[in-house]
A and B are shown apart, each in its own frame.
Chain A
Amino acid sequence: MRKAKTWLPGFLLVLPSMILVGLFVYWLIAKNVFTSLQRSTNFVTDKVVNPGGYHNYTQLLGSGDYQHALMNLLVLTVVFMVGTMVMGLLWAVLLEKGVGAEGVFRSVYLFPMAVSFIAAGVVWRWLLSPAQGDGAIGLNQLFIKLHLDGLQSSWWSSPSRFSMAAMAIPAIWQLSGYVMALFLAGFRGISEDQREAARIDGASEWKIYRHVLFPQLSPIALSALIILGHMSMKMFDLIYVIAGPNSYKAAVPTTMMWTQLFAQSNPQAAAVNATILLIIVAVVVVPYLVTTSRSERSR
């Protein structure tokens, strides 16, 4: 153990932040969990709303509404992650060797990142309007104008179980540029010598990507997946704006939590919902953080 005199000032400098993070993150999480375990009754009818303890969790997990929201979340997450990664990687590959006006392309692809989900959501609500035919607006109207009437869709409100896939479109629009930036920086971080060596070794351009470049991007891909994954699970603003706060069709745990808390005045169930969400995110993020922190220490 090093002498306290040398490290104490550093500790004191971080202490305020430690207290704040401890209080506002960990203490509040604990309080939320506590709330989630409370028993509650309807104050008019006296009927038990939440039986208390872990029963609150089994009750929510067993409910059809919640399973529907989880299913929606799964569809949203898969489509969003695959779409964003593919689009981002594609853009990065198109740009990585350097093309004229690269800066312009990059800036355009990245600009949606600077826009709030709310602002984007307002436009996309219009673009993804379900009305078809005569009164159609948004993309459906565009399809009519382009004589592609067959492409019209009710988007996220279509009857399909997988309609949430449509909700991923605006999210892909917003975040593909981010993935592109990550991959592009990754490509540029690989020394040009390696390509030249591979070329001398007789590799085709495709083989160079396949065997030399892509494998070295896998840590970046992992980071991107983790970040997109946790963003998807936390996604709230877009859905709130596009589908409305209390939509059943487009419900995901985050919007459902809003409904539970305000429309249903059921903070216990909302707390249960939020806790489960936290656990899901933690399962993805904690191993990543721990390995990152370990590898950094060993460096």
Chain B
Amino acid sequence: MSSSVLTEEAIPASTVQHGAPGTRGSAGTRAVRYALLVAFVLLVLLPLYVLLVTSFKPSADISADTAWSLPHRLSVEGWGHAWQTLSPPLLRSLILAVSVAVISSVLGAMNGFVFARWTFPGAQVVFTLFLFGMFIPYQAVMIPLQAMFLQMQDTAPFVDGIVKLIIAHCIYGIPICSLIFRNYYATAVPREILEAAKVDGAGMLRVLRSVVLPISAPAFVVAMIWQFTSAWNDFLFALFLTTRNNGPVTYALNELAGGQNPDYSSIMAGVLIASLPTLLVYILLGRYFIGGLMSGSVK
């Protein structure tokens, strides 16, 4: 995918000339198209309906027969319970996701700049090796990673819980962040500007600081959103590296949902609470979110 998606609107508007005859199809095909689109919207939103409806039902009212109906009485009892259970891990997740977003994008900016505009012999090979790190199943490093963190804890006991996750996400996020920034710099920062800066007497760090970073905001937004979302949504690392007492919200949500006598209203409220931050990011900064998705496809 070309990385112009990072600089412009992620998905550009259609350029089809609607004035031309026959381009948009007859009224009939248009109606069919809308009907299909709306039907798919309903399908996609089905789980959201379930979440909202169930979360506002009092636990007592929940029965199989009325599972799909709107609540008779509105209750926030489920929300209250979910919030109580999830608020400490929510805070931990927030710390995790914000630190990961900041640290990884800084690393990504440094690497991406070098890979795009200040290469060294063998940089292409290193970059490809980085990219492979993006695709590996983390199961293949998980067992020694656990052991490594245990070892670290001997000398540095603060490396626990969220700190472990911050380290893991920052490091395993290096590839995607380097890719996002490399693609951005390769298209959005013309070579001549860097050459002009060199002729103006700037060394590499100066070029990076005074010329490149000030025009990197779009890539930072994309990389930070990407890393925020993946750290927030991660479960695998959380499951292997943390416990119920120091884990992120995904861990806690799984615990909340995993009981023997499921309290569906608080479970569904919990799902909504745990998803709210990423959904907010998506709603507010949707086009950058898409930009991140696109750059995941390497080209």
Partners in one complex: yes
Which residues from chain A sit less than 8 Å from chain B, CB to CB? 1-2, 7-11, 13-14, 16-18, 20-21, 24-26, 28-29, 31-32, 35, 91, 94-99, 102, 105-120, 122-127, 131, 134-138, 141-142, 145, 173, 177-178, 181-182, 184-185, 188-189, 191-192, 195-196, 199, 205, 219-220, 223-224, 227, 230, 233-234, 236-237, 240-241, 254, 257-258, 261, 267, 270-271, 273-275, 277-278, 281-282, 285-286, 288-290, 292-293, 296-297
Q: Which residue of B128, B271, B286, B299 contacts A119 across the interface (Cβ within 8 Å)?
A: B271
Let me know if B233 and A118 touch, CB within 8 A: yes
Residues of A contacting B268 in the complex (Cβ-Cβ under 8 angstroms):
122-123, 126
* Alpha-carbon distance A272/B221, docked complex (angstroms): 39
| Contact status of A106 and B140, CB under 8 A, knowing A97-B16, A118-B233 | no
Considering only residues 279-299 of chain B, those with a C-beta below 8 Å from chain A are 279, 281-283, 286, 289-290, 293-294, 296-299
B28 within 8 A of A: no
Write 26 A-B pairs (CB below 8 A) sorted by A numbering: A8-B120, A9-B205, A10-B123, A13-B208, A14-B114, A25-B141, A26-B129, A28-B148, A31-B144, A31-B147, A91-B37, A94-B37, A116-B275, A119-B271, A120-B47, A123-B51, A137-B67, A182-B293, A195-B16, A227-B297, A230-B135, A236-B236, A278-B140, A281-B135, A281-B136, A289-B132
Let me know if B33 and A271 touch, CB within 8 A: no
| Contact status of A181 and B140, CB under 8 A, knowing A1-B121, A18-B126, A192-B17 | no
Residues of A contacting B282 in the complex (Cβ-Cβ under 8 angstroms):
110-111, 113-114
Residues of A contacting B34 in the complex (Cβ-Cβ under 8 angstroms):
99
B143 within 8 A of A: yes
- 6 cross-chain pairs, A with B, having the tightest CB-CB distances, nearest first: A98-B14, A116-B233, A114-B282, A10-B118, A7-B120, A31-B144
Considering only residues 1-21 of chain B, those with a C-beta below 8 Å from chain A are 1-2, 5, 10-18, 20
Let me know if B140 and A29 touch, CB within 8 A: yes
Let me know if B130 and A21 touch, CB within 8 A: yes
* Alpha-carbon distance A189/B257, docked complex (angstroms): 44
Least Cβ distance of B113 to chain A in Å?
7
Least Cβ distance of A131 to chain B in Å?
8
Considering only residues 155-173 of chain B, those with a C-beta below 8 Å from chain A are 168, 171-172
